[in-house]
Structure 1
C-alpha cells in the first residue's frame, strides 16, 4: 500500500499588509504570486460580516506563493492591526550555502537576526531571523557528510 502524498503549507495571517509581505517573500524566494482580494468575490460571499466590509475589499483574501517553497497568506478581517506573529517559526533547510545564505540575508533586511548564521556543533550552519513582518525564520544549511 502506497502512502498518500501530503504537503504541509504554512498559512500566514496579516493585519492588512498581506500584499506587501507576500511581495517581499516573492523577492526573497522567487516564484509565482497569486492574490485574490476580498472584493473580487460576490457580495456577501463570506459569513463573517467584517470580511464583507468596504475596508476589506482591497485586502487579500488568499495569497499563494509557489516556487521553491509554497507559502499561503491572507489578511485577517478580525484583526486589522499589523502584529508580530511570533508564536511560531518557519524552518528552511537545504545544502546550497550560497542560496540559503542569500535567503537569510534578505529575510534579515529591516528585520532582526536573533541567532547569527554560523557553523554549529552538530556540523550544520544555522541561524535565526525575525523578518520585518514579525515572522520567525530558522535557516539550516546542511553539512556535506560524505
Structure 2
C-alpha cells in the first residue's frame, strides 16, 4: 500500500510543476490538461468547466516519491492547511540547497540548522503555500 500526496494548486499548477522541477529536480511523469479530456468528462461538481488550459492531473517524481497535482477548480485560492511534506536530504549540504530553493519567494517557519534529532532540520512554506520540513542526518 502507498500514500501519495495530491496537491490542488487552484490555478497555479503549471507554475508549481515548473518550480518543483527547478528547485527539487522533480520529473514530470504525466501532465493532462482539461482540454485533453473527452467532452463532458472534465466537468467539476455543479457542472462548471475549468479553463481548458489548466492542469487536470499531473504526476511528479521527487526522489523516490510520486506527488500528484492539479489545478482543481482553478479559482485562484489554493489552501494547504494542517499538512506538511517531509523531505529527507542526502546530507546537510543537500538539505541546505533544497531548503533555500523552497524558501525562494516563500516563508521560513524554522531556519535550517542542527537539532537534537537531526544534523539539519528546518521548516518552510513555499511560494504556493505548501509547507515543507527538510531534514538530513535524522533518526527516522
Normalised by the length of structure 1, the TM-score is 0.83
1:135 counterpart = 2:105? no
SS at match of 2:15: helix
RMSD over equivalenced CA pairs, Å: 1.9
Structure 2, unpaired ranges of 5+: none
Residue from 22, 31, 35 that aligns with 1:35 = 31
Q: Is this contact kept in 1: 2:87–2:132, CA < 8 A?
A: yes
Q: Is this contact kept in 1: 2:103–2:126, CA < 8 A?
A: yes
- How does 1:36-115 map onto structure 2 within 5 Å? 36-46=32-42, 48=44, 49-50=47-48, 53=49, 55-68=50-63, 69-77=65-73, 80-115=75-110
Normalised by the length of structure 2, the TM-score is 0.86
In structure 2, C-alpha distance between the alignment counterparts of 1:126 and 1:64, rounded to whole Å: 27
Cα-to-partner distance string for 1:66-103 (whole Å, 9 max, x where unaligned): 241321100112x5123341321000124422222211
Say how many residue pairs are matched.
135
Moved over 6 A (4+): none
Task: Mark the structure with the bigger radius of gyration.
Answer: 1
**Residues 7 and 131 of structure 1, relative CA distance in 2, 3 Å threshold:** same
Q: Which residue in 1 is equivalent to 2:119? A: 124
Structure 1, unpaired ranges of 5+: 1-5
